Chain A
Amino acid sequence: MKIILKTFAAALLLGVAAMGVAKADPVKIGVAAEPYPPFTSPDASGKWVGWEIEFIDAVCAEEKLDCVITPVAWDGIIPALTTKKIDVIASSMSITDERKKTIDFSDKYYNTPTAIIGPKDQKFGSTPEDLKGKIIGVQVSTVHADYAKKHFADAAEIKEYQTQDEANQDLAAGRVDAVQADSIALDAFLKSDQGKQCCDLKGMVAPDLAILGPGVGAGVRKEDTELREKINAGIKAIRANGKYDEISKKYFDFDIYGADTQSN
């Protein structure tokens, strides 16, 4: 029986190894597996579409990188990067000092203000006094969650969701009184049939650079400096040759790059 045991153990290991081995070459671009329109969302045929997908494709084309979009859960996107399940995070991740302790970022590639939306039939603004006693929905482990916790937690209750979509859904269902997130993502929701019916914009939040950071960048592992430089060069190139504006025009009627900040 010993021999059988050993054979089984060997067969198991071999089987696992055989299943695991695949081509290692392409750069795996990690995006959150949950829809985040208009930046990253799957269409009905399972293809990933959106501004950020086109943007990163353009960067990859510019730098001749062989990129594949790899959806992973937002919840575990940083562990997925550090354990090499993906090589780049291109999922509207804001550059923050807290995250920089674990991973590195490319230069920012867009920066838009943070907004608060709420039900149409209630009138309120976006200051802590306005939000007193309300429940604010945010997506977990985002700068918005950190911001809400710092500025609104004394006055309001913060409810965290795994995905932005679920927070929006609960706003429409009346389970939260307000949602704080990136203004563009919220705008896309307000323009949807569901958003049009239920909710409207309440205002932008007061800036806090320490938390909200300089904008959105592509996350890479700390040791992958070469890849980071390539992405930076790609961003610069498509900013210069008009490709960036060309893609942006398809989605937005204003410049989402934001003010030029010191790149790091």
Chain B
Amino acid sequence: MAGPVMTGEAAVEIAARASLWLKPHRIVLILIALGLVLAAAVFMRWDWLPKYYGMGLLGIWRALWILAVTCTLGFLLAVPLGLAQAAGSFWFAAPAKVFCTVIRGTPLLLQLWLLYYGLGSLFPQYPWIRESWMWPYLRQAWPYGVLGLTLSFAGYEGEVMRGAFAGVPKGQLEAARAFGMSRWRIFQRIWLPQAFYRALPTLTGETVLQLKSTPLVATISVIDIFAVSSKVRQDTYLTYEPLLLLALIYMAITGILVFTLGKIEARIPNKIG
């Protein structure tokens, strides 16, 4: 990874940390791990790799794209869900609560199948839908995958946002009201930012969980990296190699994700009042 130029001090610090971390038994463990990887590379069959290389990269790109879109949309949806539960009247709070409970109480796999095979099979019965501009999208699989994952993320994060909104100290809101701020302005300037900073630490974890959910879209015929590995398995009848590589890919993505999100989180100043 091409980072910024390292200063001498930082390099020394890293070296010191490395020597602290690299104890003798760790070196042995790492050597064993390397041996295992080498053995896998030598004794297992990897001749299919060149053929599926391009498809695999496209699959990874799709998985990341789905992850980014569903997390963003899901979070935007989670804000009103959390607000409705934390502060809304019964008529707002109850549906939001029901939504979160249903999403969190049923398997995502079932939700995706319900959307794709259940809901999706109703649309073509109405000619006006078939003739509208939406049809080219509705007949594809990815909109259902994106919708399902978005709702799922919103359901889980909505619960987090509820806690975050409720956790903002009353005094702050009262002070804002005493300043004569309008309700919208209080929300925009005080309540939402404060809740957001409170929810921030959970976002990394939720995003990783969401990444781990993305392979489920393969079961509704979206071709992500998981689907590519299934294809390799079915074409070559190899059981272990594609799955092992897939696990490695997900581990790498998770690692990068945790690292970058941690960096971003550290940059955002902690403004909890």
Contacts and interface: CB of A to CB of B under 8 A. Distances in A.
Interface string A17-58: 000000000000000000000000000000000000000000
A174 B14 CA distance: 59
Contacts of A187: none
B230 interface: yes
B117 interface: yes
A149 B130 CA distance: 28
Contacts of B43: none
B140 A175 contact: yes
B121 A169 contact: yes
Interface stretch (A156-164, A225-233, A240-248): A156-164
Contacts of A7: none
Contact of B121 (A75, A162, A173): A173
B121 to A, nearest CB: 4
Nearest to A172: B121
B239 interface: yes
B117 A102 contact: no
Interface in B136-172: 139-141
Contact of B123 (A83, A141, A173): A173
Interface string A96-126: 0001011000000000000000000000000
Interface size class of A (residues with CB under 8 A): 20 to 34
A133 interface: no
A79 B237 contact: yes
A79 B238 CA distance: 8
A83 B239 contact: yes
A175 B239 contact: no
B35 interface: no
A82 B240 CA distance: 12
A172 to B, nearest CB: 7
Contact of A166 (B123, B130, B221): B221
Contacts of A162: 219
Contacts of B121: 169, 172-173
A140 B124 contact: no
Contact of A75 (B123, B130, B230): B230
Contacts of A173: 120-121, 123-124, 139
Contact of B221 (A83, A99, A161): A161
B234 A140 contact: yes
A163 to B, nearest CB: 10
A174 B237 contact: no
Contacts of B235: 141
Nearest to B120: A173
B139 A174 contact: yes
B62 to A, nearest CB: 15
Contacts of A101: 237
Interface in A160-190: 160-162, 166, 169-170, 172-175
B231 interface: yes
A173 B119 CA distance: 10
Contacts of B219: 162
Contact of A174 (B130, B221, B233): B130
Interface in B221-265: 221, 230-231, 233-235, 237, 239
B127 to A, nearest CB: 11
Contact of B234 (A82, A141, A172, A174): A141
A102 B235 CA distance: 11
A102 B231 contact: no
Contacts of B139: 173-175
Interface of A: 75-76, 78-79, 82-83, 99, 101-102, 140-141, 159-162, 166, 169-170, 172-175
3 nearest interchain CB pairs?
A141-B234, A174-B124, A173-B121
10 contacts: A75-B233, A99-B237, A101-B237, A140-B230, A160-B231, A166-B221, A172-B121, A174-B123, A174-B130, A174-B139
Interface of B: 117, 120-121, 123-124, 130, 135, 139-141, 219, 221, 230-231, 233-235, 237, 239
Given A101-B237, A172-B121, 17 more contacts: A75-B233, A75-B234, A76-B233, A82-B239, A83-B239, A140-B231, A141-B234, A159-B221, A162-B219, A166-B117, A166-B221, A172-B124, A173-B123, A173-B124, A174-B139, A175-B139, A175-B140
